[in-house]
Amino acid sequence: MTPWKGPNRRTKGLRREEVAAIAGVGLTWYTWFEQGRDIRVSAAFLDNVSRALRLNPSERSYLYFLAGQPFASRSAGEDAFKLEPSLMRLTDGLEPRPAYVKNFLWDVLHWNRAASFVFGDFADVPAEERNIAWLAFTDSRLRRTMAGWEQDARRLVARLRADYARSAGDPRFRRLIDRLSEGSADFRRIWEAQAVLETGAGVRLVEVEGIGMVHFDYIVCKIGESDQTKLVIYAAQPDTASGAAFLQSCAAWIASDAAA
């Protein structure tokens, strides 16, 4: 079992002895668990540890995954790589808000022209590299838009790990992680921290070519019951000078592209 490097304990002063007591096991046995020793654990024990450490759903899922008992696994079929035309039309209709659709592997399946304006045209990227995680850790235009790269990269990897845990170690996902680890020292460094995060909304500072730093609100929308496809939408904050400049420039660029 992989050693469990969990988050900081949320209860101030909670010691390993106390976690062991709450989990209903001896201190030595719990220490072995944290060290990743080859021991068997029950779902009840994992539930107790989750409650003791106040893990969020993503962290709890990852704990189960490390213990070899993924409780939220999903079978990723070919539907994860196909799109309904209605979803493509919806994505296009969100302009001038940048939006793209990704599957559970973080492959980009569709994007609108506003996304091309900000992140570059994904059509110019070879299909095998058209992946958000891969582009974030390579010399790509998408990476260069990440104004706070270290913070954004850590957040991205933590969300990627949460999805990896929910995939129950899908072989395709494992190959993606291996490829990233081989191709990027930064990814290896951040992945080894074992942080887990899932957030459906937030604010990002993005470097937009020709405009500068733009504050975007973003939201990640799950599509369908299988949770294998997600729509990511960015909205520039219009009450800021950079946000207003973005909306004007993006709309003009889209109009000229449509006329071409």
pLDDT digits (tens, 9 = 90+) for 115-169: 999 999 999 999 999 999 999 999 889 999 999 999 999 999 998 988 888 777 7
- pTM exceeds 0.75: no
**CATH 3.30.450.180 occupies which residues in the chain?**
78-259
d(CA 60, CA 230): 22
Angle at 104 between CA 186 and CA 69, to 5 degrees: 90
pLDDT digits (tens, 9 = 90+) for 167-190: 777 899 999 999 999 999 999 999
Residue 170, token pair as written in the block: 């899908």
* pLDDT tens for each residue of the chain, 260 residues long: 444 444 444 445 567 777 667 666 677 766 766 666 666 766 667 767 766 777 766 566 666 666 666 554 455 555 556 788 999 999 999 999 999 999 989 999 999 999 999 999 999 999 999 999 999 999 889 999 999 999 999 999 998 988 888 777 789 999 999 999 999 999 999 999 878 776 778 999 999 999 999 999 999 998 876 668 899 999 999 999 999 999 999 999 999 887 77
Candidate CATH numbers 3.40.190.80, 3.30.450.180, 3.90.660.10, 3.40.309.10; the one for domain 78-259: 3.30.450.180
Inter-residue contact 32 to 78 (CB < 8 Å): no
- What does the longest C-alpha to C-alpha distance in the chain come to? 71
- Evaluate the omega torsion of the peptide bond into residue 96 and state whether it is cis, within 30 degrees of 0: yes
